[in-house]
Structure 1
Amino acid sequence: MYIRGSRGIHGIVFETKEFNTEETCPLFSSTHAQSPKSRRKKKREQGLMEGKENGPDGKKPGRVIDGPTNPMVTPLLNDLYQFTMAYAYWKAGKQSERSVFDLYFRKNPFGGEYTIFAGLEECIKFLANFNLTDEEIDFVRDSLPGCEEAFCDYLRGLDCSDVEVYAIPEGSVVFPKVPLLRIEGPVAVVQLLETPFLNLINYASLVATNAARHRFVAGKSKLLLEFGARRAQGPDGAISASKYCYLGGFDATSNVAAGKLFGIPLRGTHSHAFVSSFMSLDEIVDKALRSSDGKSTCEDFVSLVQTCLTKIQNSSSLHGVFSETNQSELAAFTSYALAFPSSFLALVDTYDVMKSGIPNFCAVALALNELGYKAVGIRLDSGDLAYQSTEARKFFCAIERELNVPDFGKMIITASNDLNEETVDALNKQGHEVDAFGIGTNLVTCYAQAALGCVFKLVEINNQPRIKLSEDVTKVSIPCKKRTYRLFGKEGYPLVDIMTGENEPPPKVGERLLCRHPFNESKRAYVVPQRVEELLKCYWRGNAG
């Protein structure tokens, strides 16, 4: 993307044919989110019912906005120096000076060429519920030696009614240096938003980008399942990961709490422990299973499974592939199928995938088929996933062909086992029959990169541009209140993002525009846009309009 030549700000040319935002990153809105129960609820509702909140278009929706998903997101989720600066601003009489801050990042994560913006919804919820309780103000007073009581009175009256926030829509593809958010308002108040906003956006955007990269490598046709709750950095890490992996292109999560909070589809089966907890088929007491249409009942489903296993053993094309299977595993699969006949999916690598797990699964799946049910498939969690998935598919297709079971060869094969972007890519190059990937640790912990590195910089105060200088040119901030645009070419694909000063005329369709890099004079390009889209939209307008 680049910026206007006469007063260029920043740009990096990008090609989006490889990544379709609408298909891969649909905007996620947590319409099912629950309001946290906090001691600030009464004050929050009183303020909001007075019309201090606004919707994505800046207009008042006339409703109470829920608080942040995590009730720990309060004004105290802050660095101490935000409060020391607020106090110093107040002492100097500068607390109400009108300021403009940009929130942006300097480099795309994971060595990539794009980032997915996420976390905006939580920021708006935080703004809508911003206030300090008496207990919190007392704690701030105790943490600031010599703090005057009048400052505590000032804090007691703080809210975000005089703050405006302009942002790129959540779920958008974004690029370095371009403001994700522009925050305007009294400098002391906006300063208190810095740490919470960075906290809410840095990880959200990082993990959403990680998810999108996995989606890109896996391809559009594969199911992507987020299995990271047990490996995430604490409860909030798990909940946030589930939400933003879904935004980034994943199809479902194993996290039940995230499913409840955000309406994300849930997926999950059983573990190795469930399989190894069974000793024999004799442990199954209730052996009856009604047919899918409810018209009949199989009184001994266990015997039906054993009969189906014998059929497989006698199959000509599968003769010699296996002999005796593990009967405790067969008992576990049979028991699980009795509990979930309509959604039977088995973990088949507890003992031996090809000599026990796959044949046992197929025996149970065939028995279910005779009662009108259709098994879902298998999960592989160890070994050579490409080879095992290919051999499993051959096994399924052989049963479909020899035993005349329609669509048996289309069983879903899910692979897990510490997968990441590189291993999925390697599987693709090797060739496999995997339909779904269950990814956890490397996804939710963002193992390849610990942080996105968003920053929050003052760019204007009292209508005067401000700049942060550095010997490291990458850390030089871009001054002034800016507008940002995305320019599209003839084929409808974005060509470039540009930034201009607030009062500069916007780019015009069909009019040639010189775009240039703000720090590298050799990087410049002429663009003739066929469509122009302004990126920053008002999501919070305080008491205005």
Structure 2
Amino acid sequence: MSKSAKNFCSYGPCSPMLTDLYQITMVYGYWKSGKQNDKATFDLFFRKNPFDGEFTIFAGLHECLKYVENFEITDEDIAYLRNVFPKTTEEEFYTFFKQLNTSNVTISSIKEGSVVFPREPMIVVSGPLAVTQLMETTLLNLVNYASLVATNAARFRLAAGQDKTLLEFGLRRAQGPNGGLSASKYAYVGGFDGTSNVMAGMLYGVPIKGTHAHSFVSSFNASEESVIGQLQPSDETKPPQDFYPEVVKWLKELAPLLKVVESETNVGELVGFSAYAVAFPKKFLALVDTYNVLRSGLPNFCAVALALNEFGYKAIGIRLDSGDLAYLSREVRKIFKLVADRFNVKWFASATIVASNDIKEDTLLSLNQQGHSIDAFGIGTHLVTCQKQPALGCVFKLIEISGSPRMKLSEDVAKVSIPGEKNLYRLYGHDGKALVDLMTRSTEDAPKVGSRILCRHPVFENKRAWVSPSRIEKLYKIYWKDGKLQESVASIEDCKSHVVHSLKNFRTDHLRSLNPTPYKVSITDSLYVFMHNLWLDSAPIGELS
């Protein structure tokens, strides 16, 4: 197996060959034209916020920097290209291509985990034209999905509330192994508390959570009570004791209180719960909807939990995976409080209620309207596949070459690019909240606190406003230059914390799910005039007849 394939399969640094063929054919074209070393600058940005929202979380920078740091074209790569390119391809090109590296590349970027908006470059790549062109597809691949999942996770967090636990359960529905790993990582960055994905825990340190499935419960039957065995009490000075008889005793005592017929609860389920409790007495959380929540699963859970209590352990709670989640959670909470009062087990009243079952953002908003008693949500398909919008749509556009600005014109005005190297600032109002993001030409002086700044619409619309900021934040830092990292790469925990910090800088009306207020991204008057003049110089002049 080649080094490139090993890198890809191990989810380590991406190979330069993880790219589109046309990137390599363009490199050949540049080489043939003698343009391969022209200094080029590319902007990586997107044009529209996802999920009908008004904000995006920037993610994937760490992986981009790992790619740049480990950029290497191997002998195996060259051997493969010889079979792809025409036989007439010069040997000198292969020698040139093999020697491509990132030692003369500079990467400026917004901090990972920041709230970002359309049209503003998240990453700026400068360097020799051949190598910077070759980096396009890989950088887009590393940023697009990461930012989409992190944004989706942040929206789920806002919908659920800060006091709820959010767990990512999407590995089995994700787009392949690497998609599953990326989803687990960036859902955590975006605001989730943990994942079911064990490898994400191993690779990234994401907390892993999980109990059992319906198959565990249904695998047991009433005749298997003898397999339960003994449980060691939490007080290790006491000898192990048979556990299942205590469970049966508690079910008999609970039946009249819960108004259920003891013989109607599923005994196989009771045996299964007991087996799991003996295996994990400190982490007992039961899936209670295999047969019937209120008539079987909940009474059986309570019996096992009270038996565990006799042995000195506190059960964690239950998971609901079907039915009317709002109604069932309220009924479960009533029973928990009833049991707590009746048997003087105070902790029982606040036992955890987890809900799953194809939950989406709209589900959380609806549950909040209905009123519920759910403490934690397990969310899979709609988080990791981003069904509401499957792609962010980042692009990588040439904005300057050999000191000359470049501008993409289009029949669609929204696709017009903003030319030239730029700086980016976030301007804050006197309430401490962000007012506007402002792009300036790289040759302009930085905006000043308290000064009156004219902010203009980034496309050719006559929208403008004066802003007198109380605080100004410069958004770009140089992360890679002269062949080495210039800034320490943020850890996953730092990125996660920065998401929380960055979101707090914005008004809630910009972040809300329904009809959010658009946030303004503007350019200075100088950049507006420069852009407009370049457009006039570049656009062909039609002729009426």
TM-score of Structure 1 vs Structure 2, range by shorter chain: 0.7 to 0.9
CA deviation map 1:260-284 (0-9, x unaligned): 0000000001000000000115343
Aligned to 1:215: 157
Tell me, yes or no, if structure 1 residue 86 matches structure 2 residue 50. no
Aligned to 1:314, what secondary structure does the other structure show? Answer: helix
Tell me, yes or no, if structure 1 residue 100 matches structure 2 residue 64. no
Rounded Cα–Cα distance in structure 1 between residues aligned with 2:448 and 2:29: 45
Rounded Cα–Cα distance in structure 2 between residues aligned with 1:236 and 1:282: 40
Q: CA deviation at 1:39?
A: 3.0
Tell me, yes or no, if structure 1 residue 244 matches structure 2 residue 186. yes
Counting only pairs closer than 5 Å after superposition, residues 396-475 of structure 1 correspond to structure 2 as 396-475=336-415
Rounded Cα–Cα distance in structure 2 between residues aligned with 1:365 and 1:392: 14
CA contact (8 A) 1:38 1:71 kept: no
Rounded Cα–Cα distance in structure 2 between residues aligned with 1:367 and 1:377: 14
2:222 to 280, 297, 316: 280
Aligned to 1:357: 297
Rounded Cα–Cα distance in structure 1 between residues aligned with 2:441 and 2:459: 16
Q: Taking structure 1 as reference, are residues 543 and 277 closer, same or farther at Cα in structure 2, changes over 3 Å only?
A: closer
Counting only pairs closer than 5 Å after superposition, residues 47-86 of structure 1 correspond to structure 2 as 70-71=11-12, 73-86=14-27
Rounded Cα–Cα distance in structure 2 between residues aligned with 1:321 and 1:179: 65
- Equivalent AA in structure 2 for residue 209 of structure 1: T
Q: Taking structure 1 as reference, are residues 322 and 175 closer, same or farther at Cα in structure 2, changes over 3 Å only?
A: farther
Aligned to 1:110, what secondary structure does the other structure show? Answer: coil
Q: CA deviation at 1:327?
A: 0.4
CA contact (8 A) 1:69 1:122 kept: no
Q: CA deviation at 1:67?
A: 9.3
Aligned to 1:303, what secondary structure does the other structure show? Answer: helix
Aligned to 2:417: 477
Counting only pairs closer than 5 Å after superposition, residues 4-403 of structure 1 correspond to structure 2 as 39=3, 70-71=11-12, 73-145=14-86, 146-280=88-222, 282-315=224-257, 318-320=258-260, 324-403=264-343
Aligned to 1:407, what secondary structure does the other structure show? Answer: helix
Q: Which moved more, 1:522-531 or 1:127-136?
A: 522-531
Rounded Cα–Cα distance in structure 1 between residues aligned with 2:477 and 2:167: 32
Q: CA deviation at 1:310?
A: 1.3
Aligned to 1:3: none
Q: Which moved more, 1:136-145 or 1:283-292?
A: 283-292
CA deviation map 1:53-80 (0-9, x unaligned): xxxxxxxxxxxxx999624821111111
Larger fraction in helix: 2
- Equivalent AA in structure 2 for residue 310 of structure 1: K
Aligned to 1:258, what secondary structure does the other structure show? Answer: helix
Rounded Cα–Cα distance in structure 2 between residues aligned with 1:276 and 1:518: 60
Q: CA deviation at 1:287?
A: 2.0
CA deviation map 1:420-448 (0-9, x unaligned): 00111111111111100100011100101
Aligned-pair identity (%): 57
Aligned to 1:60: none
1:511 to 448, 451, 460: 451
Unaligned runs of 5+ in 2: 487-545
Rounded Cα–Cα distance in structure 2 between residues aligned with 1:116 and 1:123: 16
Aligned to 2:82, what secondary structure does the other structure show? Answer: helix
Q: CA deviation at 1:493?
A: 1.6
Rounded Cα–Cα distance in structure 2 between residues aligned with 1:68 and 1:212: 29
Q: CA deviation at 1:286?
A: 4.8
Q: What is the count of residue pairs matched by the alignment?
A: 484
Rounded Cα–Cα distance in structure 1 between residues aligned with 2:231 and 2:130: 67
Aligned to 2:227, what secondary structure does the other structure show? Answer: coil
CA contact (8 A) 2:288 2:297 kept: yes
Rounded Cα–Cα distance in structure 1 between residues aligned with 2:145 and 2:341: 49
Q: Which moved more, 1:468-477 or 1:488-497?
A: 488-497
Q: CA deviation at 1:314?
A: 3.4
TM-score by structure 2 length?
0.86
